A and B are shown apart, each in its own frame.
Chain A
Amino acid sequence: MTVTDLTATERPHTTSSAPRRRGRGLAPVLPALVLVSFVFVIPVLALLLRSVLEPEPGLQNYAAFFASTTYLKVLGNTFLVAGTVTVVTVLLGFPVAWFLAIAPSVWSRLLFAIVILSMWTNLLARTYAWMVLLQRTGIINRTLMNLGLISEPLPLINNLVGVTIGMTYIMLPFMILPLHATIKAMDPAIFQAAALCGASRWQAFTRVMLPLTGSGIAAGALMVFVMSLGYFITPALLGGTANMMLAELIAQLVQSLLDWGLAGAAALVLLVITLAIYMIQLRFFGFGETRS
């Protein structure tokens, strides 16, 4: 943009500040810039630097991370849980989003309020509920035993099953809300056209609805997947020590083992995967519209 372009788009009252025009608007951004630099950029870069500087310069932390079966298993757990949670939230979230978009307003409004309430309810309160529900002597196990369906309590907590159930619960709203917006925006006339052309319900679903909501599903799935990868609290409380996930490993490397080099390496691995997925999302689906 040249100076003349700028002048042409300027509003009348700003022409008085002509000499400062080029950098106009930078000053009010500075407090945010200073904050984000000192409380975000520099600390994160410092952490990542430690991964190649501690205990001595080199890539040995990365070598150690990828050579260790323990750490690779942590990475595997992380992908397994995030993948399962993503698939289940799509399968459960899609019908719910569909229902929300077309059901009579009383019912859809009620369900919508439940989705929002559960999303806004404190994360620890929700995780606590699942800890109570999933215990060996918890309500789920006791009910199943009273019904005679099982004779021994199922191991539902302190393992990946518990983590997956708890995480699915927490991630569902993040799938339902964007999908609801996508389905709501569809034009009913498209389906009338499909029916006129002789499509059965099943054909209309697979050949019209799914392709049209595909980008919404993919965007929601990527978001749920990437959020699940980095989750700390729910895996820490519902998971077991034997089945750690990546975020928990990073915390433990710092808190118990004081191994900053390896923690930095693990953090970079998590960061690279996360940012790579966001790049895919940005490239194919745009960014931000589904979040707020």
Chain B
Amino acid sequence: MLLDFARLGAWRVALILIAGLVGAYLLLPILLIVALSFGSSQWLQFPPPGWTLRWYEALFDDPDWLASFLTSFQIAAVVTVLSVLIGLMASFGLTRGTFRGRAALRALFLTPMILPVVVLAVALYAFFLRLHLNGTFLGFVLAHLVIALPFSIIAISNALERFDRDIETAAIVCGASPLEAKIRVTLPGIRLGLISAAIFSFLASWDEVVIAIFMASPDLQTLPVRIFGTLRQDLSPVIAAVSTLLIALTAGLMALAAFFRKDARS
């Protein structure tokens, strides 16, 4: 009765209404940004009086925006590689190891995900001041790596737990060395876990802003830090253009993830 859409009766109307309104609430701000980024009004009128590409031109003409875009990308790329590597090793240890305290260690590795990020940001700011790491590439990478690692460990551990280890054993029985078996049998077997670890690690670093605000220097800023700084001054449509590019990136990654999921099913 309550789980059969066709037999919900009058309740169905209420459900459709609320779902529709919430869907609009979730979608409209995103569409609005995209529209405003092509709108000619500097004062963010809606509907825009005309259409233009000048905010995108302003964006691409500004070396600071490009620099921060590049900075974000480089940091996220390095973080992704390290996060998957370290996460892969840790996941092997955590899922197959026999040492004591594995559960506690796993909980420790996941804690940065649940801790209020502002606490970590302030703590790292103080700690990195002493090590002269604030405003450095290495500082950004280390800080973002701690945020990204839990996502890697969750994705890869889950994949490893689902992976039938007898296949790896079979490879060894057939004469492969344990390392060879891991590289040629186990890694391809858990590739979906590795891919989602990479995607989530990249996004965790790419979207990270609170720590980056504390970590940034005038010379080295990630894209979110520059957006945050600009937003505090004015609501320029250039931000709408940046945001639209980020939304496009998100939609692209979603499509990619959907593609791999379909790939996994077939």
Contacts and interface: CB of A to CB of B under 8 A. Distances in A.
Main secondary structure of the interface of A (DSSP, over half): helix
Contact of A122 (B115, B143, B232, B246): B246
B228 interface: yes
A32 B231 contact: no
Interface string A102-133: 11100000110111111011111111111111
Contacts of B125: 254
Interface in B77-96: 86-87, 89-90, 92-94, 96
A126 B173 CA distance: 54
Interface stretch (A23-31, A55-63, A64-72, A147-155): A23-31
Contacts, number: 283
Contacts of B93: 25-29
B97 to A, nearest CB: 2
Contacts of A42: 127
Interface in B111-125: 111-125
Contact of B119 (A100, A237, A267): A267
B33 A230 contact: no
B44 A132 contact: yes
B17 to A, nearest CB: 9
Contact of A230 (B29, B86, B119): B119
A205 B2 contact: yes
A18 to B, nearest CB: 12
B122 A24 contact: no
Contact of A35 (B14, B145, B172): B145
B114 A278 contact: yes
Interface stretch (B19-27, B53-61, B62-70, B183-191): B19-27
Interface in A17-57: 21-29, 31-33, 35-36, 39-44, 46-47, 50
A92 B122 contact: no
Which of under 10, 10 to 19, 20 to 34, or 35 or more describes the interface residues of A?
35 or more
A131 B235 contact: yes
Given A21-B98, A22-B99, A254-B125, A128 B90 contact: no
Main secondary structure of the interface of B (DSSP, over half): helix
Interface of B: 1-5, 8-9, 11, 14-16, 18-19, 22-23, 25-27, 29-30, 32-33, 36, 43-44, 46, 86-87, 89-90, 92-94, 96-99, 102, 105, 108-128, 142-143, 145-146, 149, 151, 153-155, 158, 165, 169, 172-173, 178, 203, 207, 209-210, 214, 224, 227-228, 231-232, 235, 239-240, 242-243, 246-247, 250-251, 253-254
16 contacts: A21-B98, A22-B99, A29-B90, A32-B89, A36-B112, A39-B146, A44-B115, A125-B227, A129-B29, A133-B29, A169-B26, A191-B1, A208-B2, A247-B116, A263-B122, A288-B154
Given A46-B127, A230-B119, 18 more contacts: A6-B98, A26-B97, A32-B89, A35-B146, A40-B111, A40-B146, A41-B108, A43-B120, A44-B120, A120-B250, A128-B227, A137-B43, A172-B22, A172-B26, A192-B1, A237-B232, A270-B116, A288-B154
